Structure formats: C-alpha cells, structure tokens
A and B are shown apart, each in its own frame.
Chain A
C-alpha cells in the first residue's frame, strides 16, 4: 500500500470504529428500556402486570385453591408513617378481587408528597398478581398532620404456578420525584 492509501484506509477504519463506539454508548442506554420490557414480559424483578392487561381478561374464581397474600410496607426519606393493612396475611382464592387498605400518617405540619413503589415476591408470581386499583398508581399528597386511607384492589390470576403458596406484596414509599416514571 502506498502512504496515501494507508492514510485513507486509516481514516476509514477510524470512522467505522468511532461509529461503533457511539453505537455502544447508545446501546448502554438502550439496555434500560430493554430490561424493563424483558422484566415486564417475564415478570422478573417483581414487576407486576399492568392495568390494560387486567381489563382485557375476565377471570374465573378458582375456589379449589387458596393462596396466602402477605402485605408489608417501608418508608424511606419522607416524614410519614405508613401502616400496613390490619390483616397482615390474607387467604384468597385465585380470580377473586380483594381490597385491603393501607393507612398513611403525615408526621410534619407541611404538605408532603410521596410515591409508593410496589414489588411482588416471588418473582414468578409477579406477572400473575394484578392490581386493579392502587395508591401506587399516582403520587399521594398529605397536608400537615393528615391521615389517609390508601386502598389497593388486586386479583391473583388463576394461572399462578401451582407451587406458589404465598405471595408477598411490598411497598417502599419515597418522596415524590418530579421526573417520576409511572409504576404499576
């Protein structure tokens, strides 16, 4: 190769490789939605089924089977006390809609806004645990000293794998963030 050709070839290689670098940088970001979609499809990581899916499929109640649902909640970085439902463990039949009520208390005088992030364990139960109504769908505001009842209605899909006997629904309540993404 002449020196001129080498230079041209160097430029071409550099160009392609730089493009690849930019692409991989973008791919790093693309992994975020890719993982989200992957988790939603497979129900990994405790991400539970979305609303639209629920309305689409009417469920038959499976009286022959009982599943224990446990409730828990933690508060992180916000001056609230959140009580879990009075019945901490509940036996439900798959397909039957159940409502439980959490109760939030503001511990300060000022207005505060919080957002609950749900998680369902075990992971393989997550996609079969459907919330039709939940305080976690929107941000919750409490004026100073206020207490508020926060209901959640859920249905356990009869397609829940047979080996799952107990499902735990957990909430972590954070201060509401402006750039919040919607959690279902």
Chain B
C-alpha cells in the first residue's frame, strides 16, 4: 500500500466549511464526532439540570410533570445515542488507523456519511420537544402501551432511532473492515492495542444489536399507525414482548457503551504505570466473554414482569457470571499498577477513578442481578445511581481520560495540567455528591421518573441537586482546557508521555493530516 485514497491532495489541508462537509479524512471526521459528542453532552447535561432543579425540593416548582417526563426521556436518549456512542466512534476514527498503522479508515466516504447522519437525527429528536403533544415521555426504553399512546413526538423519536442506528451500523462496518484489512504488516491480531480489540468487539455487538432495536421501533411505528398488533394488547399483541425485544438490544447496548472505555483505560494505565499491560491475552478473552454473555442476560431488566421461576434463575445466574470476566479486567488493571513507577497526570487520575467508581457501579449491578433483591430495587433511584456509576464513571470518565491522554497528539500542545486536575477533582467529587445519596433514596423506596417525592426524601435530593449543578458546570472547564490547548501552550513532543507504547506515538504532534501513507513495519 503506497498511497492513501487516490483523490487526496497530499499534505494540503482543505480550507473552510467544505473541509468539514466533504471530508473523508479520518482525523477530521474524528474531530467532528468528538465535538458533536461534547455538544450533545452539554445539551443532555442541561436537561439533567432541569430534572435536578425540579427535584431540588418536594412539590412541583420548575416544570410540569409531562415536561419532566420528556426531559427524563430525551436526556437519556441524547446522552446514550448522542454523546457516549458518537464520542467513542470519534476516538475510534482518530486513533484506530494510527494505532494499526493504516493511512485512513477502510471506507472513507461512508465514514463521512455516518457522521453527517447524526446532526440530522438529533435535530429531529430535539424538534420532537416542540411538536403538539411534546416529545417522547415514556422513558428512553419507550415501553408500550405508553409509547403507543404518545403523540407525534414519539414518531419523530422512532425516526431518530432509525437514523442513529443506521449511523452506528455504518460506523461499525467501517471499523471492522479497517481493523481486518488495513493493519500494518506484522500487526497480528494479538499484537493490536487493547483499544483496537475492544472496538472490534464493540463493532460486532453494534451490528448484532442495533438492527434488532430498529426492528422493535419499526414494529412500534406500525402498531401506532398501520394497524398491526405486535405490542397492542387490543389486537392480541403483547406489551411484554417489546420489553424482551428491546432488552435483547438493550443489554448488548450497555456493553457497547462500556467496552471502548475499557480499551481507553487499558492504554492509559500502562503508560503512567510504566509497565506493560498485565494479562493482555486474558483482557482480550475477557472482553469477548463479556460480549457473548451480553446476549443471554437481557431479561434481568424485567424480573418483575412475572417470569416463571426457572427463567428468573437462568437470568440471575447468567448475569452474575458476567462479574467473572469483568473481575479479570479489574484485576489486570490493578496488577498493571502494582509496583509500577506511577505518576498521576490527569489522564491517569481519570483512569484510576474509572476503575474505582466503575467497580462501585458493577457491585450494585451484582446486587440487582439477584432476583429477589431486585424486586426492591426495581424502578427506584437505586437503579438510577447504578447506571450513572457505570455509564458516567465507566464510559464518560474513561473518555475524559482519553481526551487528556491524546489531546497533545491532536493539537500539538500540552494541555493545562492544573486546570485538568481541577476539572478532575470537581467532576469526581461532585459526581459522588450527586449520585451516592441516590443509592439511599432507592433503598428507601423513592421511585424513578416521578417529578415529586415524599418529604422524607427531601435532604438527600437537595444534596444530590447541589452536586448535580457543580458537576454540570465543571464540564465547562474541559471546554476551556481543550480550546486553550488548540490555541497554544507548551509544544508536545512526538512521544508526549514517558515512553508510551503504540504506533500513534511514533508520528509527530500534532499528527500530520496524513499519517502512515507508507505502512510502518511492526515487529
């Protein structure tokens, strides 16, 4: 392979808006994805603040219950499909080709289209808030019969999910093709960096799970408008069936959100421990095991629908089984740090926080896997605390870790370490102020998705809201750090860190517009 895609003007960066509209360059598209993800993170965060403002005190103060439900629903959809998934695809675009020594992604034009579907899809979703009847208000899981009864906003949401699903599937196909076909000579599968491994497995999960969701929402759409009766009991359908189909997608989806995060911190921890990753092969197999198990545990999201005992036992044991490969991973990260000459720059702080706090979320997950116990936790703030510990502390903190880790490679300048540390401590402390009390609220029986609550929950909710506002506004520091690093700062060397592993550190910082036009030799 001697040239990149033939119609490129080499060494010359196109100018103006058309550069971004028509770009087929993986770095440009990665940048677009990452900015899009960050904007959606702020939009979804603003919605979360509406929720926390309403819950600051008992009673109804800020919004009406219907709008509150829309905020709960759209916050989740925006964060999952708008912020976390595109964020990881952004990392994949930027880093995968550089990590495997490829000049670009395998299908660059498709790559452009995958990205440009996103702004349209999320615009559709946000528009739904302004149509008669308002946006979707049945929760992000859009369970019928409530979602069959909703207004036009539900239809817009269904189309949004279709388009977002298409974008993810195209992105996944591209990533698999890149990793299978474009690796530099000598880069065998078991020499690939772990971030590449976790992404290829994630991409397979996307391809297997997203079409099922597309099918489920299409059935919902035809139930709403074309007289079919998949889920409407009036026609002989079954609303519980939707839950089965939805969670057949939904459980792999949560691993789609977390596996690339595992990949990022598996890159960061060895660098700052100055030791190679402990148990590389076991990491790969643990990731694959988690991916496989994700397809046979879906009904643990619906223990309370009235399953027979045998079903509940099966889903309980298979769910608890997931703790084993996950435990292998946590063990390996700790073993990597063990007796390493560790330093605590911002990326490492975030990686350590990810390991620690994700484990908290993982353990509450195990508690809920136990069927009889789950009947108490189901649909309470306990589950809200649980999935914010895994998705925020797992996925989002790992992304922050990745941003600080690779930012010098992207911009060519070191970020402001002091600001980075301020961002870290504010984020981690305020996160725990926000979400730790929610465990207690859930235990005490506060239900989720309700805009009001009993007086005995008032103190914890006030604490949680205060934490939420600090958490939200702290994220502006990240914006400041990134802009500052783009505009200038200490020049970054090619290696940036102390002897990090990986091909991305062999190219200069900032990474040139085209890298590895000639494939590197990997020994």
- Residues of chain A whose beta carbon lies under 8 Å from any beta carbon of chain B: 1-3, 6, 9-10, 13-14, 17-18, 20-29, 31-32, 35, 42, 44-45, 76-77, 115, 117, 123-124, 172, 174-175, 177-183
Contact = CB atoms under 8 A, between A and B. Distances in A.
Contacts of B234: 76-77, 115, 117, 174-175, 177
A3 B207 CA distance: 26
A32 B241 CA distance: 7
B51 to A, nearest CB: 31
Nearest to A17: B173
Contacts of B456: none
Given A32-B241, A172-B233, A182-B236, A24 B173 contact: no
Given A10-B107, A178-B227, A181-B235, A28 B215 contact: yes
Contacts of A27: 211-212, 215
A27 B214 CA distance: 11
Contacts of B214: 25, 28
Contact of A42 (B180, B219, B308): B308
18 contacts: A3-B1, A3-B2, A6-B106, A10-B181, A13-B173, A13-B180, A17-B207, A20-B208, A21-B169, A24-B212, A28-B216, A28-B249, A32-B245, A76-B234, A180-B235, A181-B235, A181-B237, A182-B236
A29 B215 contact: yes
Interface of B: 1-3, 106-107, 169, 172-173, 176-177, 180-182, 207-216, 219, 227-230, 233-238, 240-241, 244-245, 248-249, 306-308, 311
Interface residues of A, dominant DSSP: helix
Contacts of A178: 227
A110 B194 CA distance: 69
A1 B212 contact: no
B136 to A, nearest CB: 20
A117 B236 contact: yes
Contacts of A42: 308
A179 B228 contact: yes
Contacts of A179: 227-229, 235
Nearest to A172: B233
Nearest to A43: B308
Given A175-B234, A179-B227, A45 B181 contact: no
A47 to B, nearest CB: 9
Nearest to B227: A179
B208 A31 contact: no
A24 B208 contact: yes
A14, A21, A31: most-surrounded residue (chain B CB, <10 A)? A21
Contact of B181 (A1, A21, A35, A182): A1
Contacts of B208: 20, 24
A80 to B, nearest CB: 13
Contacts of A1: 1, 181
A86 B180 CA distance: 70
Contacts of B238: 35, 45
A14 B173 contact: yes
B158 to A, nearest CB: 14
Contacts of A35: 238, 241, 244
Contacts of A28: 211-216, 219, 245, 248-249
A183 B207 contact: no
A142 B411 CA distance: 75
A13, A28, A117, A179: most-surrounded residue (chain B CB, <10 A)? A28
Contacts of A124: 308
Contacts of B212: 24-25, 27-28, 31
Contacts of B181: 1, 6, 9-10, 13
Nearest to A5: B181
A45 B238 CA distance: 9
Contacts of B216: 28
Contacts of B2: 3
A6 B216 CA distance: 36
A24 B207 contact: yes
Nearest to A31: B245
A166 B42 CA distance: 55
A17 B207 CA distance: 8
A24 B212 CA distance: 6
Contacts of B176: 13, 17
Given A13-B106, A13-B180, 15 more contacts: A6-B182, A9-B177, A10-B177, A17-B173, A20-B207, A21-B211, A24-B209, A24-B212, A27-B212, A27-B215, A28-B211, A28-B213, A35-B244, A180-B229, A181-B237
